[in-house]
C-alpha cells in the first residue's frame, strides 16, 4: 500500500531529523550552520505538507504544530527550527485566507484600534476544504526556500554601503554571513579586519584564514584584548545565532563584551542577521534555556576537583546595537518587533 | 589452523567487496559477569541500573547510535527478561529507530568469551564491529578510530584485529577505575600495542626487551590512559575467541594476541582520544563519579535535560549551577539546591533541606531538614525528616525513617516489592550494605545463581520472611539485613582484597566459603591483575586446589592437572614448587580474608596440609627442592609478619607429614639467612625450640642407627 509506505517514510525522515537535532552541538552529529538548518527544516515541512494526511488547513496546521513542538524540544537552542515552523504556519494561514477569498490585508493589519474593536481575534476554524490549497501551500513554501537560498547574497550585496576604504573592522568568532559580507566588500575596497578568536572553540581562527585567503588584511586577537584594540576600530560587524523579539541578541559567547567595549568607544555595532534568525522569544534572566551549556572538554581536560562551566551563548541587550542588516535591508533594533509581526502570526508565537 | 586460515581468507575477500554497503554493527554485552553491584544486581541487572534517572544501557545504545551503528546485538544473561522488556519498550525498538536492536539471550554465557564465541557460532557479524559493555557511558566520536582501523586493515591485509579506544586522563583521576589501570607500550607511529599490562596492585613493572627491538624507532610507554571499554573489532576477533576457548575477557584476548603475535601475525592497535568522555561503570565508585560527571555535563550532549531516551515525562529543565528539575517537582520553603542536583519528576522535597551533588529519582518524598550530599536516590524513595545522607546509594522503594544518618558509601539494595526500612534514630557506619536479601541466602543460592531469576527470587523471598530483622542494625522499625560493615579505610581494604585476587568493593561474597569454585575462578581471573604467566599459573593452581577440595579429587589427579598447567604456562619445576607452597599457605587468607588471627589461620591450614601432602611429596624430592620449598615458606611468612608464630607449626606439620626432611630444615636454618629480616625470623623463640628439638631427634636417631 503506497500510502502507508509514504507515511512510514515520512516518520522515518522526521525521526532522523530529530536525532540529528539532538546530537546537533556535540560534534558527533553533522554540524551545520543555521542557514542550512533553516533549509532542512523547510524541506521537511514541505514534505510533511505533501505527504501527511490532511483534509483541511486546520488539520495541516495541527500536524505541523505538533511536529514543530517536537523539533524545538529536541534542540531548544536551535531557534531557527521553530522560526521556520512559524513561517510555514503563517504561509498556510495566508493561503487559506486567499482561497476563501478574504484579502490577507485585512487579516494582517492589526492596529491598536482594531485590537480594541474586534474583541475576538480569530474565530477562524480553518475547516473548509479547498482543492488547490495543498498545491498553493507547497508553492509558497518553495518561494520561502528560494528566499532562504538568497539570504546570504542579499546581505553581502549591501556590504559596500557599510564598509569604506581603509577602515578597521572588528568581528568575533565565525559567522558565515559576516564572512560573505566582508568578502563581498573586499572585491572593491581595502580594509583591515581584526578577529577576536572566541575561545574555547576558537572559531575565529577559521574565520581569519577564510578572510586572508581572499586577500583581506586580517589580525587575530585574544578575547582579552578586545577592549584594548577597540579604540582603533571603526566598526564592529558581527553575526548572531538568534535575534530576539526585543531586538536583543543571543550570540556566541564573548559578544557581550565586544558590544560593551564598542559602546564605551562609541563604535557602531552592526549585526548581520538574515530574517530567519528572528525569533519571537524574549530573554529571561533566570533561565538557562537560552544558554546552551556545552560540554567543557575544550576548556579543560577532565579534572576531579574543579567545577567547569562553559556557556556557549551571550545575551546582548538591544541598547548596545546600532543596526541590523538583514536580507531585506537595514533596520534599527527598535524596529525588530514590527518585522516580527510581519513574519509570524501572533497566535503562532507559542507553538 | 590451516582450515581456519582458509576461512579467514575467504571472509576477507567478501568483506572487502562489501565493505562500503555493510551497515556498521555493534555487539553490546549487557552483563557484567561479575557481582560488584551485589546485592543490588540481584534484583535488577546492572545494565538497567539508573544513572541520572536513565538506565545505563540507554547511554550505551545512544552512544552507538550516534556513532552511526545501524545494527546492534544485545547479549543478555542475568535477568535477560528484564533487559528485554526494557528494550522493547524503549525507543530503540521502534520501527523508526536508525539502529536495529537484536536481543539475544542465553543463560549459558559466563564471560565475554562465551558471548563472542556465540557471535562466531551464529555468524552474526560480517564486518568490523564495535564491542561495548552495557554500562559504558560515552560521547566519544569513534568514527575517526573506525576509519583508522579500516585503513590499517586494508593496508596491512587484515593483520590488525582490534583497535581499543582510550582516553587521555591523568593517573589517579576519579573517573579512572583503579582496577582498569593499564600501562601500555606502543609504537608511536603505527599505534600498535606492544605490551599491555594491568597495573593494579603491582609495585614493579616488567617489559620484555624484545618489544623494543622491533622495527620502529619510536616507542611510547603510557600510563595516562583511561580505558573506555570500547573496542573496534574485526570479525576475526570472534573466530579467535572460538579458537582459544580459554579466553574469557578482553584482557585474556589482548594478552593472548600479544604473546602469539609472531605465530599468528595478529596485531592490536590503540586509539587515544583527548576529547570526549568515555567510562565504564564497573563498580560503585565509578557509578558515583560517572553520575557526577554526567550531571556536570561532561557527557554533553547526553545531558539530563536532553531526554535522549525520548520518554514521555522524562524531560527536565536546566538552570544555573547545574540544577535540573523534572516536571511537578515541589520544593519546600527554605530548601536549597546548591549545585549539581538532578531531581526526577513528581518528587517533593520538604522545608529547609540542603541538597548538593545528588541525583534524586522519580516519585520520591523527602521530609524537612534533610541534608543530602553525593547521594544517589532511585525511584520511590521515602526520606523522613532530619535525615543526613552522605555519598550513598538508596535504591528503589527504600524508606529511611527519622533522624537516620548514612555515612560514606552506604548502599541499600532492595526488592521492588518489599522495601528496606531504616531507622528511626540510627547512624549507619561507612560502607554499610543493607538489603532485603539475607546474606546467608546467597551461599545457599549460589549454585543456581545464573539460572532463571524469577524462580530464585520467589524462592528467596519465602526465606526472607522466616528470618527476623535485627533492630540493632536497621533500627526499631527497620526491615532488612546488614551485609557487611567494612573497615574505615575502604580504599586500603579494596587494594588488599584485589591483591588476593578477590572481588572488590562492598562485596559480601568474599566472606562466604561455599561459593561455587568455577565461578570464583572466573571471577578472580577477571578481576585480578594478570601480570604474566607465573601469576596466571598461580591463579590456576589456586583454582585447581579449590576444586580439588570441594569435589574431593584424588591428589594424583591434582598433580596431573598441575603438571599440565606447568607445561601450558611454561613454568620451571622450581617455580612450580614455590608457587604451590605459596598458594597452599595463603589459602586460608584467600578464603576467609586477611583478618584471621594466627590461631584461626593455623587451624584451617594444618588440615589442608595434610590433605595435600601427596601433592607436595610429588614435587619435593631432591635436597634442593626441600630448600626451595623452605625458602618459599620463609618468604611468605616474612610478608605476613603478624603470623610468624604460625610458621613453626607449619614446619612441624610438614616435617611430621614427611614433606620436609630434618636435614633440609636444619640446613636451611643454618645457612639460609641472607638479610636482616630473615635473621630476625630465625631468632623467633618457637622456631629455635623447634630446631633444638629437631637436632635432638636427629641425634637420637643417629644413635639408634649406630
Q: How far apart are CA B333 and CA A321, in angstroms?
A: 41
Give me the average pLDDT of each 10-residue run along chain B (706 residues): 39 44 85 74 82 89 87 87 88 81 86 88 87 88 87 80 86 73 85 83 79 76 86 88 85 84 80 84 83 83 76 75 85 87 90 91 90 87 87 82 75 51 74 71 43 37 49 69 50 36 35 35 40 76 81 79 79 79 79 72 79 78 78 78 76 80 78 69 76 76 52
How many residues would you count in chain A?
Answer: 351
H-run or E-run covering B104: strand B100-105
| Minimum CA–CA partner of B98 in chain A | A16
Q: How far apart are CA B323 and CA A129, in angstroms?
A: 49
Crossing angle of helices B517-527 and B533-551, rounded to 10°: 160
Q: How far apart are CA A85 and CA B413, in angstroms?
A: 48
Q: Of A76-90, A319-333, B635-649, where does mean pLDDT reach its minimum?
A: B635-649
Q: How far apart are CA A241 and CA A34, in angstroms?
A: 8
Measured in angstroms, the CA of B250 and the nearest CA of chain A are apart by 26
Only one residue has cell 566519544, namely B140
User: At A103, is the pLDDT very low, low, confident or very high (cuts 50, 70, 90)?
Assistant: low
> Is cis: bond before B39, omega within 30 of 0?
yes
Measured in angstroms, the CA of B157 and the nearest CA of chain A are apart by 29
Q: How far apart are CA B210 and CA B263, in angstroms?
A: 15
Mean per-residue pLDDT, A313-323 = 90
Task: Give Cα B549 distance to the centre of its chain.
Answer: 25
Measured in angstroms, the CA of B112 and the nearest CA of chain A are apart by 28
First CA to last CA distance, chain A: 33
Four-residue CA torsion sign, A88, A89, A94, A96 = positive
Task: Give Cα B440 distance to the centre of its chain.
Answer: 22
Q: From the list B277, B293, B318, which residue is nearest A288 (CB)?
A: B318
Show residues of chain A in contact with B339, CB under 8 Å: 307
Give me the sheet containing B219-222, strands edge to edge: B193-198, B182-187, B219-222
> Is cis: bond before A28, omega within 30 of 0?
no
H-run or E-run covering A316: strand A313-316
With beta carbons less than 8 A apart as the criterion, state whether B597 and B642 touch. Answer: no
Q: Which runs of E-coded beta strand occur in B234-369? A: 267-273, 278-280, 316-319, 323-326, 330-331, 336-337, 341-343, 348-349, 354-356, 359-360, 365-366
Does A306 touch chain B if contact means CB atoms closer than 8 Å? no
Q: What is the pLDDT of residue B631?
A: 80
Q: What is the pLDDT of residue B626?
A: 79
User: At A188, is the pLDDT very low, low, confident or very high (cuts 50, 70, 90)?
Assistant: very high
pLDDT digits (tens, 9 = 90+) for B171-219: 767 777 777 788 888 888 888 888 888 877 777 888 887 777 766 778 8
Does A27 touch chain B if contact means CB atoms closer than 8 Å? yes
Q: How far apart are CA B258 and CA A237, in angstroms?
A: 58
H-run or E-run covering A331: strand A329-331
| Minimum CA–CA partner of A76 in chain B | B306
Q: Of A9-13, A133-137, A324-328, B260-264, where does mean pLDDT reach its minimum?
A: B260-264
Q: What is the pLDDT of residue B17?
A: 44
**Of B431, B509, B439, B424, nearest to B475 (Cα)?**
B424
**Of B374, B380, B348, nearest to B361 (Cα)?**
B380
Q: From the list A11, A27, A303, which residue is nearest B96 (CB)?
A: A11
Q: Which residues on neighbouring strands pair with residue A249, listed in sequence order?
A: A243, A316
Does A8 touch chain B if contact means CB atoms closer than 8 Å? yes
Q: What is the pLDDT of residue A114?
A: 64
With beta carbons less than 8 A apart as the criterion, state whether B436 and B420 touch. Answer: yes
pLDDT digits (tens, 9 = 90+) for A135-164: 999 999 999 999 999 999 999 999 999 999
Q: Which of A6-10, A258-262, B74-78, B691-695 has maximum average pLDDT?
A: A258-262
User: At A118, is the pLDDT very low, low, confident or very high (cuts 50, 70, 90)?
Assistant: low
Within the 258-287 window of chain A, which residues sit less than 8 Å (CB to CB) from chain B?
Answer: 286-287
Measured in angstroms, the CA of B304 and the nearest CA of chain A are apart by 12
State ipTM. 0.77
Q: What is the pLDDT of residue B277?
A: 83
Show residues of chain B in contact with A8, CB under 8 Å: 95-96
Residue A32 in this model has a pLDDT that exceeds 50: yes
* Neighbouring C-beta atoms of residue B46, cutoff 10 Å: 28
Show residues of chain A in contact with B306, CB under 8 Å: 22
- For an interface test with B, give the residue of A4, A302, A311 to mutate (most B CBs within 10 A): A302
User: At A231, is the pLDDT very low, low, confident or very high (cuts 50, 70, 90)?
Assistant: very high
Instruction: Tell me the residues of B at the A interface, defined by beta carbons under 8 Å apart.
Output: 65-67, 94-98, 139, 141, 143, 168-170, 173-175, 274-277, 293, 296-301, 306-308, 315, 317-320, 339-340
Do the Cβ atoms of A25 and B95 come within 8 Å?
no
Q: From the list A19, A25, A288, which residue is nearest B98 (CB)?
A: A19
- At residue B317's C-alpha, the angle toward residues B312 and B318, to 5°, is 140
Do the Cβ atoms of B275 and A304 come within 8 Å?
no
User: At A120, is the pLDDT very low, low, confident or very high (cuts 50, 70, 90)?
Assistant: low
More confident residue, B705 or A335: A335
Do the Cβ atoms of B300 and A25 come within 8 Å?
yes
**A with B: how many residue pairs have Cβ under 8 Å apart?**
80
pLDDT digits (tens, 9 = 90+) for B142-171: 888 888 888 888 887 767 888 999 888 777
B30 SS3 class:
coil
Q: How far apart are CA B381 and CA B399, in angstroms?
A: 6
| Minimum CA–CA partner of A14 in chain B | B96
| Minimum CA–CA partner of B325 in chain A | A287
Amino acid at each position: 500500500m503506497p500510502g502507508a509506505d509514504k507515511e512510514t517514510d515520512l516518520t522515518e525522515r522526521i525521526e532522523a531529523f530529530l536525532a540529528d537535532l539532538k546530537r546537533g552541538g556535540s560534534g558527533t552529529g553533522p554540524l551545520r550552520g543555521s542557514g542550512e538548518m533553516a533549509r532542512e527544516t523547510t524541506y521537511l515541512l514541505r514534505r510533511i505538507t505533501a505527504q501527511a494526511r490532511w483534509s483541511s488547513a486546520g488539520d495541516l496546521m495541527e500536524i505541523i504544530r505538533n511536529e514543530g513542538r517536537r523539533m524545538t524540544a529536541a534542540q531548544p537552542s536551535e531557534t531557527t527550527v521553530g522560526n521556520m515552523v512559524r513561517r510555514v504556519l503563517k504561509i498556510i494561514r495566508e493561503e487559506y485566507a486567499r482561497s476563501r477569498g478574504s484579502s490577507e490585508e485585512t487579516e494582517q493589519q492589526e492596529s491598536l484600534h482594531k485590537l480594541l474593536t474586534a474583541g475576538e481575534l480569530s474565530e477562524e476554524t480553518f475547516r473548509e476544504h479547498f482543492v488547490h490549497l495543498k498545491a498553493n501551500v507547497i508553492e509558497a513554501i518553495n518561494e520561502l526556500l528560494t528566499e532562504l537560498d538568497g539570504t546570504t547574497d542579499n546581505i553581502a550585496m549591501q556590504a559596500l554601503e557599510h564598509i569604506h576604504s581603509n577602515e578597521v573592522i572588528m568581528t568575533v568568532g565565525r559567522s558565515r554571513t559576516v564572512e560573505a559580507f566582508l568578502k563581498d566588500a573586499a572585491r572593491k575596497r581595502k580594509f583591515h579586519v581584526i578577529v577576536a578568536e572566541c575561545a574555547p572553540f576558537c572559531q575565529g581562527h577559521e574565520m581569519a584564514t577564510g578572510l586572508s585567503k581572499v586577500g583581506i588584511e586580517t589580525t587575530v586577537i585574544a578575547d582579552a584584548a578586545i577592549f584594548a584594540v577597540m579604540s582603533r576600530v571603526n566598526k564592529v560587524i558581527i553575526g548572531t545565532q538568534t535575534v530576539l523579539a526585543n531586538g536583543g541578541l543571543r550570540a556566541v559567547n564573548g559578544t557581550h563584551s565586544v558590544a560593551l567595549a564598542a559602546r564605551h568607544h562609541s563604535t557602531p555595532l552592526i549585526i548581520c542577521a538574515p530574517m530567519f534568525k528572528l525569533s519571537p522569544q524574549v530573554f529571561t534572566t533566570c533561565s538557562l534555556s537560552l544558554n546552551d551549556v556545552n560540554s567543557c572538554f575544550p576548556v579543560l581536560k577532565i579534572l576531579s576537583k574543579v567545577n567547569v562551566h562553559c556557556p556557549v551563548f551571550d545575551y546582548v541587550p538591544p541598547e548596545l546595537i546600532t543596526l541590523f542588516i538583514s536580507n531585506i535591508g537595514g533596520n534599527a533594533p527598535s524596529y525588530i518587533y514590527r518585522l516580527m509581526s510581519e513574519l509570524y502570526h501572533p497566535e503562532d508565537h507559542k507553538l | 589452523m590451516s582450515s581456519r586460515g582458509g576461512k579467514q581468507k575467504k571472509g576477507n575477500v567478501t568483506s572487502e567487496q562489501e565493505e562500503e554497503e555493510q551497515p556498521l554493527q555493534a555487539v553490546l554485552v549487557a552483563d557484567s559477569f561479575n557481582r560488584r553491584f551485589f546485592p543490588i544486581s540481584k534484583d535488577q541487572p546492572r545494565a538497567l541500573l539508573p544513572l541520572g534517572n536513565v538506565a545505563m544501557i540507554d547511554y550505551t545504545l545512544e552512544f552507538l547510535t550516534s556513532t552511526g551503528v545501524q545494527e546492534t546485538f544485545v547479549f543478555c544473561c542475568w535477568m535477560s527478561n528484564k533487559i528485554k522488556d526494557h528494550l522493547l519498550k524503549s525507543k530503540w525498538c521502534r520501527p523508526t529507530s536508525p539502529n536495529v536492536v537484536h536481543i539475544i539471550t542465553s543463560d549459558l554465557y559466563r564471560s565475554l568469551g562465551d558471548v563472542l564465541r556465540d557471535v562466531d557460532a551464529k555468524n552474526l557479524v560480517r564486518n568490523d564491529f564495535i564491542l561495548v559493555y552495557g554500562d559504558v557511558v560515552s560521547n566519544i566520536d569513534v568514527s575517526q578510530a573506525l576509519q583508522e582501523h579500516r585503513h590499517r586493515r586494508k593496508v596491512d591485509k587484515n593483520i590488525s584485529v582490534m583497535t581499543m579506544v582510550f582516553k587521555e586522563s591523568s593517573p589517579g583521576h576519579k573517573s579512572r577505575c583503579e582496577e582498569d589501570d593499564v600501562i601500555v607500550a606502543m609504537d608511536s607511529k603505527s599505534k600498535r600495542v606492544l605490551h599491555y599490562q594491568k597495573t593494579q596492585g603491582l609495585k614493579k613493572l616488567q617489559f620484555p626487551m624484545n618489544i623494543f627491538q622491533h622495527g620502529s624507532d619510536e616507542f611510547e610507554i603510557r600510563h595516562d590512559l583511561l580505558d573506555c571499554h570500547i573496542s573496534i573489532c574485526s570479525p576475526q576477533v570472534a573466530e579467535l575467541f572460538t579458537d582459544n576457548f580459554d579466553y574469557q575477557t578482553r584482557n585474556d584476548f589482548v594478552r593472548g594476541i600479544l604473546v602469539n603475535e609472531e605465530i599468528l601475525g595478529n596485531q592490536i592497535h590503540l586509539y587515544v582520544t583527548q576529547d570526549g568522555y568515555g567510562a565504564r561503570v564497573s563498580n560503585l565508585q565509578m557509578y558515583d563519579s560517572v553520575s557526577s560527571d554526567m550531571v556536570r555535563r561532561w557527557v554533553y550532549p547526553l545531558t539530563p535535560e536532553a531526554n535522549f531516551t525520548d520518554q514521555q515525562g522524562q524531560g527536565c529543565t536546566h538552570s544555573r549551577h547545574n540544577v535540573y528539575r523534572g516536571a511537578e517537582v515541589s520544593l519546600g520553603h527554605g530548601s536549597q539546591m546548591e549545585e549539581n542536583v538532578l531531581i526526577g519528576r513528581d518528587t517533593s522535597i520538604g522545608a529547609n533541606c540542603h541538597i548538593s551533588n545528588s541525583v534524586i529519582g522519580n516519585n520520591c518524598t523527602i521530609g524537612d531538614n534533610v541534608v543530602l550530599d553525593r547521594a544517589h536516590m532511585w525511584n520511590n524513595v521515602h526520606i523522613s525528616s532530619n535525615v543526613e545522607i552522605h555519598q550513598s546509594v538508596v535504591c528503589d522503594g527504600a524508606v529511611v525513617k527519622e533522624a537516620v544518618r548514612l555515612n560514606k558509601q552506604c548502599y541499600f539494595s532492595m526488592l521492588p516489592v518489599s522495601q528496606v526500612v531504616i531507622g528511626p534514630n540510627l547512624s549507619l557506619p561507612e560502607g554499610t550494605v543493607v538489603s532485603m536479601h539475607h546474606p546467608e541466602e546467597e551461599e545457599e543460592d549460589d549454585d543456581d545463581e545464573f539460572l532463571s531469576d524469577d524462580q530464585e527470587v520467589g524462592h528467596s523471598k519465602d526465606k526472607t520472611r522466616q528470618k527476623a530483622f535485627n533492630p540493632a542494625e536497621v533500627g526499631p522499625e527497620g526491615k532488612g539485613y546488614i551485609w557487611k560493615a567494612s573497615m574505615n579505610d575502604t580504599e586500603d581494604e579494596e587494594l588488599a582484597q584485589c591483591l588476593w585476587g578477590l572481588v572488590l568493593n562492598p562485596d559480601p561474597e568474599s566472606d562466604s566459603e561455599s561459593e561455587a569454585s568455577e565461578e570464583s575462578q572466573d571471577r578472580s581471573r577477571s578481576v585480578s591483575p594478570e601480570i604474566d604467566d607465573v601469576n596466571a599459573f598461580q591463579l590456576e593452581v589456586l583454582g585447581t586446589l579449590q576444586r580439588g577440595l570441594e569435589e574431593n579429587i584424588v591428589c594424583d589427579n591434582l598433580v596431573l592437572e598441575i603438571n599440565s598447567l606447568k607445561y601450558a604456562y611454561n613454568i620451571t619445576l622450581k617455580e612450580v614448587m614455590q608457587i604451590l607452597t605459596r598458594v597452599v599457605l595463603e589459602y586460608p587468607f584467600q578464603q576467609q580474608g586477611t583478618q584471621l588471627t594466627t590461631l584461626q589461620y593455623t587451624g584451617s591450614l594444618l588440615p589442608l596440609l595434610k590433605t595435600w601432602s601427596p601433592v607436595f611429596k610429588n614435587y619435593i624430592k631432591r635436597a634442593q627442592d626441600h630448600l626451595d620449598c623452605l625458602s618459599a615458606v620463609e618468604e611468605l611468612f616474612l610478608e605476613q609478619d603478624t603470623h610468624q608464630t604460625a610458621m613453626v607449626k607449619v614446619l612441624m606439620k610438614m616435617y611430621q607429614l614427611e614433606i620436609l626432611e630434618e636435614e633440609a630444615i636444619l640446613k636451611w636454618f643454618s645457612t639460609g639467612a641472607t638479610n636482616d629480616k630473615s635473621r630476625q625470623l630465625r631468632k623467633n623463640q618457637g622456631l629455635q625450640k623447634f630446631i633444638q628439638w629437631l637436632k635432638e631427634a636427629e641425634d637420637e636417631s643417629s644413635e639408634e642407627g649406630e
